[in-house]
Amino acid sequence: MDAIMSLCKRRGFVFQTSEIYGGINGFWDYGPLGAQLKKNLRDAWWQDVVMNPAWGRKGPNGRPVEMVPVDTCIIQHPKTWEASGHIAGFNDPMCDDKETKQRFRADHLIGAFCRLDDGLGAAISESGVPAFTIVSSTVGEAVSLLTGDKKLRKMMGVGDELEQVGTGEEWKFTYKGKAVIAIFAQVPIDLLKQQTAKVPSPFTGKPGSLTEPRQFNLMFHTFVGANATEDDKAYLRPETAQGIFAQAKNVWDTTRIRVPFGIAQTGKSFRNEVTPRNFTFRSREFEQMEIEFLCHESDALAWYAYWRDWRMEWWKSIGLAGENLILREHAQDELAHYSKATSDIEYRFPFTAPGFGELEGIAYRGNYDLSQHEKFSGVKMSYNDTERGELLPNGQRRGERYIPHVIEPSAGLDRGVLAILCEGYMKDESRPSPEIMKIHPRIAPIKAAIYPLVAKDGMPEVAEKLYEDVRAKFAKIGFIEFDEKQSIGKRYARMDEAGCPYCFTIDGDTLKDQTVTVRERDSGAQQRIGLDKVVTFLDEKLL
């Protein structure tokens, strides 16, 4: 992960926000390549969800899927968040270290539950309290931190050699001079509450300095108006979904669209995370791509399966089609009280390995949200479906009025960008630059590079003409690079690191036979094609 973050900074994908002032935790800016990469991913989602929903596939009702977009405000009426439950229940458990003044999410405390490696299974710490703790969102990240940080091991009393045992759930190492076997697992919140004084601090290794867990609301608040008081308190939205729900009636009243249909939106959301971490994975400001698909209750499970399966296919289509991507159905005890079914599309990030982190959730939310907004606003959110009900003598239906049920595919745009960067990062020591970003051509920020082999003998003039032709056709979907500085090998290396899929080189033979060298990023293979075939070649590869 350190190598990926370093490349992202060096090549202008991601910068720490306000870096010249020391930055601010949980906020990230996208540089030139990152901004275009993010736009390309957003545009791909918009094209495949809004403009040509689900690639034109028919839904369970045998008809093409219908989708409309909205763009709702970051600040909504405060009652929006009362109705959604965010004001009362959008909390994370938080702990403080009284000695170091550091703060962390209590459910992100991973403990090493150790026993002596003597074959007898004797516990090394009393009452199930971990021998030491580490703050991380996953067990995989905790083990990675421990194995990669000598200072952390020294503070916790752990030897330098850690060895996986069996399936990898257990680890063997020395702890304070004794051979132990440990299972790393989340420290239960109840244990933190009941034995706070005995749980060791993740920052010092000492017990007795942690506070009991307490609830912390994650919403950022602000005040509306020049003479605002506490009565004028408002919130930055923690999700884009509620703006869609609040406008759903306006959407079906002002368009000819009929249930079943979806409402789609992309936009910024804000959560005051207790411990933002893992680069852009858990940030305080982030962007979502959400669908709220409205349907009749009798059809909801079929639509849930439809969106769940297609969303998995979509992520595969843009370059995540490997073993790092999984679809995980939630167990019954994981479901929200209003949910009938939920699945997560998860990606194995370097900091979650061997586990996975959520990329997108697909949830059947019932009609909970629309019912809540009807209750709190007093506005009827029922829909009059004229295609349902008993058949009348005139051949028309009587109609049925109901509050639609909702399927919600909700994806993280920033997490999607991060997954693409992690999946694309490769090393090949045989190349001029060993680091390569194998980004899918549809998403790559630089689509093509045009190079004169040398800056003389008429090559720059031919290259500039080709550059203008290619840019005129493809600049709407990404950058087209032109560069005549340094050796051709170094220019190729820069494009490998930037994720550019194709480089075209004008050389001495171009002036003789009107052909150019095409160099393909992933394999490094080269071929000759006609100068007049370059635009057609890219048409087939990029569009």
Does 387 reside within a domain? Answer: no
Query: Which segment of 61-70, 348-357, 494-503 scores lowest on mean pLDDT?
Result: 348-357
- pLDDT > 70 fraction of the chain, expressed in percent and rounded: 98
**pLDDT reported for residue 12:** 95
CATH of the domain at 281: 3.30.930.10
Domain boundary pick from 216, 248, 273: 216
Q: 171 and 104, same structural domain?
A: yes
Is the pLDDT reported for residue 539 higher than 70?
A: yes
Q: 35 and 16, same structural domain?
A: yes
Q: 327 and 268, same structural domain?
A: yes
Sheet holding 479-482, edge to edge: 479-482, 446-452, 502-506, 515-520, 526-530
367 close to 245: Cβ distance less than 8 angstroms: no
Does 59 reside within a domain? Answer: yes
Does 471 reside within a domain? Answer: yes
**pLDDT reported for residue 169:** 72
Q: 84 and 98, same structural domain?
A: no
By CB neighbour count within 10 A (0-12 exposed, 13-18 middle, 19+ buried), where does 158 fall?
buried
Does 85 reside within a domain? Answer: yes
Q: 200 and 283, same structural domain?
A: no
Does 332 reside within a domain? Answer: yes
Q: 506 and 412, same structural domain?
A: no
Q: 103 and 79, same structural domain?
A: no
Question: Over the stretch 74-92, which tens digit does the pLDDT of each residue have?
Answer: 999 999 999 999 998 888 8
Is the pLDDT reported for residue 57 higher than 90?
A: yes
What is the rounded CA–CA span in Å between residue 533 and residue 479?
19
- The closest of 158, 148, 206 to 178, measured between CA atoms, is 158
- pLDDT > 90 fraction of the chain, expressed in percent and rounded: 80
Domain boundary pick from 216, 233, 251: 216
**pLDDT reported for residue 396:** 86
**pLDDT reported for residue 125:** 65
Q: Enter the DSSP assignment of 57.
A: -
Q: CB neighbours (10 Å) of residue 301?
A: 16
Instruction: Provide the 3-class DSSP secondary structure of residue 491.
Output: helix
| Mean pLDDT computed over every residue of the chain | 93
Question: Over the stretch 434-472, which tens digit does the pLDDT of each residue have?
Answer: 999 999 999 999 999 999 999 999 999 999 999 999 999
Q: Where are the alpha helices (DSSP H) in 157-273?
A: 189-194, 241-254
Q: 365 and 228, same structural domain?
A: yes
Angle of CA points 118, 111, 25, to nearest 5°: 150
Range of the domain at 167: 94-216
**pLDDT reported for residue 126:** 60
Is the pLDDT reported for residue 168 higher than 90?
A: no
179 close to 116: Cβ distance less than 8 angstroms: yes
Does 531 reside within a domain? Answer: yes
By CB neighbour count within 10 A (0-12 exposed, 13-18 middle, 19+ buried), where does 16 fall?
middle
Q: 143 and 256, same structural domain?
A: no
CATH of the domain at 479: 3.40.50.800
Domain boundary pick from 216, 247, 272: 216
What is the rounded CA–CA span in Å between residue 428 and residue 443?
22
Rounded mean pLDDT of 343-350?
95
**Tokens matching residue 477:** 């979907």
Does 356 reside within a domain? Answer: yes
Question: Over the stretch 223-262, which tens digit does the pLDDT of each residue have?
Answer: 999 888 888 999 999 999 999 999 999 999 999 899 999 9
Q: What is the 3-state secondary structure (H, E, C) of 350-386?
A: CCCCCCCEEEEEEEEEECHHHHHHHHHHCCCCCEEEC
The rounded radius of gyration (Å) of the Cα atoms in the chain is 27
Strands 67-69 and 261-270 come out as parallel
Does 23 reside within a domain? Answer: yes
Instruction: Provide the 3-class DSSP secondary structure of residue 207.
Output: strand
pLDDT band at 123 (very low <50, low <70, confident <90, very high): low
What is the rounded CA–CA span in Å between residue 159 and residue 88?
45
What is the rounded CA–CA span in Å between residue 414 and residue 35?
11
Q: 185 and 245, same structural domain?
A: no
What is the domain count for the chain?
3
What is the rounded CA–CA span in Å between residue 522 and residue 431?
11
Is the pLDDT reported for residue 55 higher than 90?
A: yes
Question: Over the stretch 394-414, which tens digit does the pLDDT of each residue have?
Answer: 888 888 999 999 999 999 999
